[in-house]
Amino acid sequence: MSEQKPERVAKVIARAGICSRREAERWIADNRVRVDGKTLLSPALTVNDSNIIQVDGKPLPRAQETRLWRYHKPTGLVTSHSDPQGRQTVFENLSPKIGRVISIGRLDLNSEGLLLLTNDGELARRLEMPSNEWIRRYRVRVRGSVDQNKLRRLQNGTTIAGIKYKPVRATVDSETRTNAWLTVTLTEGKNREIR
C-alpha cells in the first residue's frame, strides 16, 4: 500500500467524511483538532499517514473510498446542506447510511433532473470546473413564442449584465402558442445561466 502524499489537514478531515473542508477549518479555529497530541492552531498544517489526527478527542476515521451516485432531484428541494429559509434539502432525503455527500453542481428549487453526488470534494471540484467543458444538457420550458434568430445568436456566446457566457446550443423540441420546450446544451454551467 502506498503512503499518502502530504495534504492540508482540513482536506484530510473532510475526506474522512465527517464534515466539509470549511467546517474542518472552523473546528481547527475552535481548538477541536489535535495532530500528534498537540492542539492545532492553524489549518495550514500539511499531514500524511504517519500523523495521528483527533477531532474532539476521537481518532479520525479512515478516508472513505471515493463514490459517485446519480440522484433525480424533484422540484421543491434545495441543493444545499442547509437552508436559512427552512426549505427541505436534497440531502435530507438521502439515507444516512451513505454518509456525508456533496453535489456536483446544483439545480435550483424549481428545477428537477439528474444530480451527481459524491463523497469526494476534490472530485466534485474537478468535475465542476468550466475549463473541463463537460456537456450539460437541460430541457427547459419557456413562456411565449421562440425567436429562432435569438437562439442561433446564442451559439456565438453572449454577454448579459456584463457577464460573458460561452456558446450555448438551444433547439426547439415542441412549441404551442403559449409556450415551448427547448433542449439547451452548454459547457460552462455558470450560476443561473439557463435562466
Say what the alpha-carbon torsion angle 46, 52, 57, 58 is, to the nearest 10 degrees: 110
What is d(CA 17, CA 63) in angstroms, rounded to the nearest whole number?
A: 7
* Residue 120 is a catalytic residue: no
Radius of gyration of the chain (CA): 21
Q: Where are the beta strands (DSSP E) in 63-150?
A: 68-73, 102-104, 113-118, 136-143
Q: How far is CA 72 from the centre of its chain?
A: 15
88-107 burial code (b ≥16 CB/10 A, e <16): ebbbeeeeeeeebbbbbeeb
What is d(CA 168, CA 10) in angstroms, rounded to the nearest whole number?
A: 37
Catalytic residue among 83, 108, 147, 173: 108
DSSP 91: G
Q: Annotated catalytic sites, by residue? A: 108
